[in-house]
């Protein structure tokens, strides 16, 4: 019922070499002031946990408030259908999966159910895979809701828990059974996919009702009752990728376009390689990877100057550029899963005033992953 | 296997040692810390043609002769590394510098870590110099330290003129003593500790230090 804190009395912090806060086995022995001891390396960012510490629980929730909701825009018929379904799921306390295509307005669809949950005096958690996505969520929620939003990501406040919390997964480690409704955004993205420990922490932070929201659910997530939304909110089709054999001329022809161009490459080494190659051919481009600190600046630069940006898969989710053309270089690379390719294709044509965009998969070899991605996009367009 | 420092997955080269070694550092992290090149023969600070630096001239004028072997430059990466090691308490990071420390080991030497005061030890839970010294060789806790304020915010002049906080904790018979500390900024701490030991009758005292803070301007000492 609250935050797990270090106390003088309680359960031992590390038992059998397993950290009881983050459940990781990466504990190391060292000489504490009293002798041999162990500490956990996995949750150092929450303060070091030593074997000689004890864990207790502390109620850090704020008093219950009610909220009013101001919708940023009127929901369309499709979206209303989904949000009605979410309310039904909440009423029957079932977990569910929203399988909505990229750019369907997933954020706003969840607002009615969040309002309902909060007004019933329950707490809501929104988990997002990355910090910039969390910031965007928090800003949109702040505009729509009258209650304060807790920001539980790196740089936010981490002391109290209000009615609505926006968080990244690593900062949920010390919460236990707090949130009655947990919305997992982009639930197949990097930290969540195949990481059962993170799923365990999210499950421990929640109280049993979850909502997964994604465009590309994993097999595991499909076990939950699913609702589909296969139309973007502006009603246009998803751009279907074209497969083009990767030759120098083909890539240069793509780069000669006037629109903003976003080129995805598999690894950071490729970022440098293709960057130099494009410079040699007389293009100016910027590179974006997980190490780039000012990613939003690059985004603005791309939108305003119609430039070229080389990106790793860090940008495959949660970013929108007006009228962008997307290319995936070396799309046969193992790191480009079919789900990743679908997400990258979904970067194009997200704005209502520029609803189309070109998506090109450059290939050296054909793979089933490319075919599966194209098939899934076509299927969503038919639905 | 994950890298010890950045904790990202890395490929481990296969050799018989693969089964025995636990702390692997990826090639990117291995070059993170800058090793100190040849400089002042006494403290390792980079100087032209290896002459004694002005800081050390000042110490020699006071009649204090102490050779300090410094390993890495205390630059941006070094500061972050030490912050993780010391204040976040990630003791396992010692595996990153263990090879460099091991190389300074000499036979027949007792390594004496610079102590922490009692209060500081209770809050930090471990002595970072002690961890480093254990990484080199056999240690002996000969010194004790009275509670003094932290030096972190002090300027160079205030750092130099401080009363000696060190006292002899216990005595031991050893030929040669090497003091171990984490950062050498002005050298006050190490020189005070060496002074205390020499006054107690230990003949040969030298020091090993993990980081050397460089002077802002190359000409003028700190």
What is the 3 state secondary structure string of A214-243? ECCCCCCHHHCCEEEECCCCCCCCCCCCEE
Query: For the purposes of burial, counting CB atoms within 10 Å of the CB of A244, is it exposed (0-12), middle (13-18) or buried (19 or more)?
Result: middle
What separation in angstroms does the CA of A233 have from each of A27, A97, A109, B62? 48, 19, 11, 79
* Residue of chain A nearest B134, judged by CA positions: A31
Region A202-222 average pLDDT: 87
Check residue A155 and give its pLDDT: 75
Look at residue A151 and tell me whether its pLDDT is greater than 60: yes
Calpha distance A241→A341 (Å, rounded): 9
ipTM of the complex: 0.83
Cβ neighbourhood burial of B199 (10 Å; 0-12, 13-18, 19+): exposed
Whether A31 and B88 lie within 8 Å, measured CB to CB: no
Over residues A147-157, mean pLDDT: 81
Average pLDDT, chain A: 85
pLDDT confidence of residue B221: 44
* Lookup: tokens for A188: 């197949």
Could you tell me if B26 lies within 8 Å of chain A, comparing CB atoms?
no
Task: Give the closest-approach CA distance of A359 to chain B in angstroms.
Answer: 31
Query: How does pLDDT run across B40-73, given as a tens digit for each residue?
Result: 888 888 887 778 888 888 888 888 888 999 999 9
User: How many angstroms separate the CA atoms of A232 and A352, rounded?
Assistant: 9
Q: Taking the mean position of all CA atoms in its chain, how far away is CA A36?
A: 40
Contact A94, A86 (CB under 8 A): no
Residue A29 has pLDDT above 80, yes or no: yes
Neighbours of A186 (CB within 10 A): 24
Q: Which residues of A touch B130 (CB under 8 A)?
A: 31
- Alpha-carbon Rg for chain B, nearest whole angstrom, is 18
Strand A35-40 to A27-32 pairing:
antiparallel
> Which residues on B lie below 8 Å from A41 (Cβ)?
7, 90, 92
CB A67 within 8 A of CB A147: yes
pLDDT per residue over A40-62, tens digit each? 998 888 888 889 889 888 887 78
pLDDT greater at residue A101 or residue A180: A180
pLDDT at A242 over 80: yes
B22 inside 8 A of chain A by CB = no
CA A147/CA A166 separation, integer angstroms: 13
Which is nearest to B117 in space by CA: B108, B109, B127, B107?
A: B127
- Range picked from A102-106, A283-287, A320-324, B70-74 for highest mean pLDDT: B70-74
**B89 — contact with chain A (CB < 8 Å)?**
yes
Give this prediction's pTM.
Answer: 0.73
Looking at residue A285, its pLDDT comes to 82
Q: Is B206 helix (H, G, I), strand (E, B) or coil?
A: strand
Contacts 24+ apart (CB under 8 A), B192-197: B192/B162, B192/B164, B192/B165, B192/B166, B193/B112, B193/B114, B193/B143, B193/B166, B194/B64, B194/B66, B195/B64, B195/B164, B196/B143, B196/B164, B196/B166, B196/B167, B196/B168, B197/B112, B197/B142, B197/B143, B197/B168
The number of angstroms, rounded, from the C-alpha of A66 to the middle of its chain's C-alpha atoms is: 27
| Bridge-based pairing state of the strands A2-7 and A210-214 | unpaired
Binned at pLDDT 50, 70 and 90, residue A346 comes out as confident
| CA gap A24, A195 in Å, rounded | 12
- How much is the pLDDT for A1? 65
Q: Give the residue ranges of chain B where pLDDT is below 50.
A: 218-222
Q: What is the DSSP letter of A113?
A: H
CB contact under 8 A, B91 and A33: no
Q: Which residue of A has its CA nearest to B90?
A: A41
Return d(Cα A298, Cα B110) in angstroms, integer: 55
Place of tokens 């702390």: B23
Say which of A33, A41, A44 has its CB closest to residue B126.
A33
Of A80-94, A180-194, B94-108, the poorest mean pLDDT is in: A180-194
**Amino acid A102: pLDDT:** 67
Q: d(Cα A29, Cα A52) in Å, to the nearest integer?
A: 12
Supply the pLDDT for residue A16: 92
- Position A193 scores a pLDDT of 66
What is the rounded end-to-end Cα distance, in angstroms, of chain A?
43
Structure tokens at A170: 């690593």
Between B221 and A250, the more confident residue is A250
Q: With bands split at pLDDT 50, 70 and 90, how would you rate the model's confidence at A87?
A: very high
């Amino acid at each position: 019922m609250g935050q797990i804190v270090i106390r003088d009395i309680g359960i031992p912090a590390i038992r059998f070499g397993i950290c009881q806060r983050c459940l990781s086995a990466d504990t190391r022995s060292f000489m504490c002031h009293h002798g041999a001891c162990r500490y956990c390396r996995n949750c150092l960012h929450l303060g070091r946990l030593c074997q000689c510490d004890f864990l207790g629980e502390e109620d850090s929730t704020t008093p219950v408030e009610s909220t009013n909701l101001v919708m940023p825009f009127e929901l369309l018929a499709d979206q209303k259908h989904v949000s009605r379904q979410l309310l039904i799921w909440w009423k029957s306390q079932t977990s569910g999966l929203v399988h909505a295509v990229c750019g369907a307005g997933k954020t706003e669809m969840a607002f009615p159910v969040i309002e309902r949950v909060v007004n019933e005096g329950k707490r809501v958690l929104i988990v997002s895979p990355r910090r910039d996505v969390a910031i965007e969520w928090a800003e949109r929620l702040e505009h729509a809701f009258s209650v304060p939003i807790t920001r539980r990501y790196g740089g936010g406040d981490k002391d109290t828990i209000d009615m609505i919390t926006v968080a990244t997964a690593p900062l949920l480690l010390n919460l236990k059974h707090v949130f009655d409704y947990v919305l997992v955004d982009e639930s197949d993205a990097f930290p969540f996919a195949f990481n059962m420990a993170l799923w365990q922490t999210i499950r421990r932070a929640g109280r049993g009702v979850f909502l997964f929201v994604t465009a590309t659910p994993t097999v595991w997530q499909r076990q939950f009752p699913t609702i589909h939304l296969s139309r973007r909110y502006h009603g246009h089709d998803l751009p279907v990728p074209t497969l083009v054999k990767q030759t120098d001329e083909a890539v240069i022809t793509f780069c000669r376009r006037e629109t903003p161009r976003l080129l995805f490459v598999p690894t950071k080494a490729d970022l440098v390689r293709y960057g130099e190659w494009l410079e040699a051919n007389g293009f100016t481009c910027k590179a974006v990877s997980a190490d780039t600190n000012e990613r939003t600046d690059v985004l603005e630069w791309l939108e305003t100057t119609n430039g070229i940006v080389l990106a790793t898969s860090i940008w495959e989710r949660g970013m929108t550029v007006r009228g962008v053309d997307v290319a995936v270089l070396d799309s046969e690379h193992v790191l480009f899963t079919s789900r990743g390719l679908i997400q990258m294709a979904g970067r194009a044509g997200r704005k209502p005033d520029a609803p189309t965009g070109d998506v090109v998969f450059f290939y050296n070899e054909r793979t089933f992953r490319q075919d599966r991605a194209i098939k899934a996009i076509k299927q969503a367009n038919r639905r | 296997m994950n890298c010890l420092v950045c904790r990202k997955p890395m490929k481990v080269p296969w050799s018989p040692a693969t089964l025995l070694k636990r702390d692997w550092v990826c090639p990117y992290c291995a070059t993170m810390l800058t090793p100190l090149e040849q400089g002042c023969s006494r403290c390792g600070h980079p100087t032209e043609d290896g002459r004694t630096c002005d800081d050390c001239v000042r110490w020699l004028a006071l009649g204090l002769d102490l050779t300090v072997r410094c390993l890495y430059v205390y630059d941006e990466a070094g500061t972050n590394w030490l912050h993780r090691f010391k204040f976040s308490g990630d003791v396992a990071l010692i595996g990153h510098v263990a090879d460099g420390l091991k190389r300074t080991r000499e036979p027949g030497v007792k390594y004496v870590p610079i102590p922490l005061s009692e209060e500081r030890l209770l809050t930090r839970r471990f002595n970072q110099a002690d961890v480093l010294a254990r990484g080199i060789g056999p240690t002996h806790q000969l010194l004790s330290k009275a509670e003094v304020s932290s030096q972190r915010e002090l300027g160079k002049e205030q750092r130099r003129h401080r009363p000696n906080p060190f006292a002899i904790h216990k005595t031991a018979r050893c030929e040669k003593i090497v003091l171990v500390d984490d950062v050498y900024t002005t050298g006050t701490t190490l020189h005070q500790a060496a002074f205390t030991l020499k006054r107690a009758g230990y003949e040969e005292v030298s020091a090993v230090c993990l980081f050397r803070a460089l002077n802002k301007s190359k000409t003028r000492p700190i």
